[in-house]
Amino acid sequence: MKLFTRYNIILMAISLFGLLLIGSLFYRLLGYYLDKQIDHDLVEEIMEVKEYASKGNFYQPHEFEDLVVQYKKIKKANPSSSYADTIFYNPVKHHTETARYLKTELELLGQPYQILVIASKSERQEQIQNICLIILVPVMLLFALVLLVNRILLKKIWTPFEQLLKNITAFNINHEVPYQPVEMPVAEFRQLNKVLVELSGKVKSDYNEIKLFTENASHEMMTPLAVINSKLDNMLQSNVLEKEHGETLVELYKATSRLTKLNQSLLLLVKIDNNLLQDKEKINLKSLIEEKYVYFQELINGRNIHVESVLADVSIYANQQLLEILINNLFSNVIRHNYDGGQVEIRLDPEKIVFANTGHNPALDPEKIFDRFYKDHASEGTGLGLAILKQICNRQHFLLNYTYHHDLHTFIITFKH
């Protein structure tokens, strides 16, 4: 939920609660004063009763008055009075109404009587309702006007902030375009915008320095490694070396080869991490897998590995270079970690691609298998192949999973998730 919407909901909830509470208290207060006024009128009616009794008559209200006076003989009159609400039948209006009564005992014409005076509350309650309505309607209109003005003002205040968020989202560290500042009318937002401008500039500067250092370091490392490999090749092909020296050179050659692969893998990971390979195009996966199968066929035949494939004609939008690296790594993984005479299964459908292989090792740890430099103790790889696989899937928004079932190590890449 957006901050603007959340603020409006809270404001409306508090305002409505306040209106209901104040309205209820106001209605009850008016009702209280109404009862007091009616009680005063009832006392005046009792005085009328006494006045009429002094003249030898029983007082009866006029027909148009919403009053009822009842007399009841009693044995002895006690000087006490009581007020309460009740419901009575109005003989004038011919229906029942809410009312208030005063019950007292008096000596009238020499006899003790209980006198009950009932006054209708109907008209006065209608007056209260009308008063509340007269007050409530302008208050509701004022409340609606305040909400409207509040919405307009807040929207005007928060519009630059929304633009600021859009600019942050659009900012790309790999592009030459710097972060675009926004004119902010609010002091706190201006300060935030200033901090973002400074931070984006520093991040971009640091990124460019790290990127330049990585590229230069990788390039500088490749040159001496290539020279070392070339010298080692020449020495291994010469016939002047003793057996012991030859074995030492072979180990050195393997070490420099691994170092070269490690350097290439790290450079590739840097490019993937920094999203330097972004261009996408429509790629036919079936054709790509078949092409890579031909490329690896000599290794597959040399180890007598049986390959079973079921490939649907599937095309997806992805980066060509990353997808080729992904398929290369999958083929390399199922061949290198297999045993002679093993089995490889490849399945492709519109939703996923599956590479499965037999191997000497039991199930790998699914929590660590895609960590950088995680590998089996017997492996001669760099420990970065599966990490590269994971990074490519993340960048292309694929889902990568590993399972071990029926002695098969299975890697599943789901295109839609």
Q: Which domain CATH number covers 370?
A: 3.30.565.10
Q: Assess if residue 24 is contained within a domain.
A: yes
How far apart are alpha carbons 399 and 258 in whole angstroms? 29
> Per-residue pLDDT tens for 289-318?
888 888 888 888 888 989 888 888 888 888
Q: How many residues does the chain have?
A: 417
How far apart are alpha carbons 356 and 410 in whole angstroms? 4
Q: Assess if residue 176 is contained within a domain.
A: no
Residues 395 and 371 in one domain: yes
Residues 286 and 408 in one domain: yes
Residues 20 and 117 in one domain: yes
Residues 7 and 103 in one domain: yes
Picking from 308, 316, 334, the residue whose alpha carbon sits closest to that of residue 398 is 316
The structural domain count of the chain equals 3
The token pair that represents 197 in the structure block: 């401008």
Picking from 117, 20, 113, the residue whose alpha carbon sits closest to that of residue 74 is 113
Its domain, for residue 346, covers: 281-414
Q: Is the pLDDT of residue 335 over 80?
A: yes
Q: Is the pLDDT of residue 179 over 60?
A: yes
| Under 8 Å between Cβ of 409 and 356 | yes
Burial 54-87, CB ≥16 within 10 A → b, else e: eeeeebeeeeeebbbbeeeeeeebeeeeeeeeee
Q: Average pLDDT, stretch 121-127? A: 78
How far apart are alpha carbons 292 and 282 in whole angstroms? 18
Question: What is residue 4's predicted lDDT score, i.e. its pLDDT?
Answer: 67
Q: How confident is the model at residue 374 (pLDDT cuts 50, 70, 90)?
A: low
Burial 310-338, CB ≥16 within 10 A → b, else e: ebeebebebbeebbebbbebbbebbbebb
pTM over 0.85: no
| Under 8 Å between Cβ of 119 and 101 | yes
| Under 8 Å between Cβ of 71 and 113 | yes
The token pair that represents 219 in the structure block: 């390039």
Question: What is residue 82's predicted lDDT score, i.e. its pLDDT?
Answer: 86
> Per-residue pLDDT tens for 54-80?
777 888 877 656 788 888 888 887 878
| Under 8 Å between Cβ of 81 and 72 | no
Q: How confident is the model at residue 333 (pLDDT cuts 50, 70, 90)?
A: confident
Kindly report which listed range (87-96, 113-122, 193-202, 223-232) carries the lowest average pLDDT score: 223-232
Residues 338 and 263 in one domain: no
Q: Which domain CATH number covers 220?
A: 1.20.58
> Per-residue pLDDT tens for 220-260?
666 666 666 676 666 666 666 666 666 666 666 666 666 66
Residues 266 and 289 in one domain: no
How far apart are alpha carbons 83 and 135 in whole angstroms? 30
Residues 268 and 296 in one domain: no
The residue out of 129, 146, 171 marking a domain boundary is 129
The residue out of 94, 129, 164 marking a domain boundary is 129
The residue out of 129, 152, 178 marking a domain boundary is 129
Q: Assess if residue 155 is contained within a domain.
A: no
| Under 8 Å between Cβ of 99 and 72 | no
Q: Assess if residue 203 is contained within a domain.
A: yes
Residues 400 and 293 in one domain: yes
Distances (CA, A) of 362 to 365, 375, 403: 10, 13, 11
Q: Assess if residue 95 is contained within a domain.
A: yes
Q: Is the pLDDT of residue 215 over 70?
A: no
Residues 99 and 191 in one domain: no
Q: Assess if residue 25 is contained within a domain.
A: yes
Question: What is residue 32's predicted lDDT score, i.e. its pLDDT?
Answer: 85
Q: Give the 3-state secondary structure of residue 77.
A: coil
Q: Which amino acid is at 394?
A: N
Q: Is the pLDDT of residue 331 over 80?
A: yes
Residues 17 and 115 in one domain: yes
Residues 257 and 354 in one domain: no
Contacts (Cβ under 8 Å, ≥6 apart) of 285 = 311, 314, 315, 316, 323, 348, 353
Question: What is residue 321's predicted lDDT score, i.e. its pLDDT?
Answer: 77
Residues 285 and 409 in one domain: yes
Angle, helix 122-170 to helix 187-237, in steps of 10 degrees: 30
The token pair that represents 198 in the structure block: 């400074």
Q: Assess if residue 62 is contained within a domain.
A: yes
Kindly report which listed range (98-102, 305-309, 377-381) carries the lowest average pLDDT score: 377-381
Q: Is the pLDDT of residue 273 over 70?
A: no
Which one-letter DSSP state was computed for residue 359?
-
Distances (CA, A) of 379 to 77, 182, 354, 373, 374: 114, 54, 22, 11, 10
Q: Is the pLDDT of residue 358 over 80?
A: yes
Q: How confident is the model at residue 36 (pLDDT cuts 50, 70, 90)?
A: confident
Q: Average pLDDT, stretch 268-285? A: 67
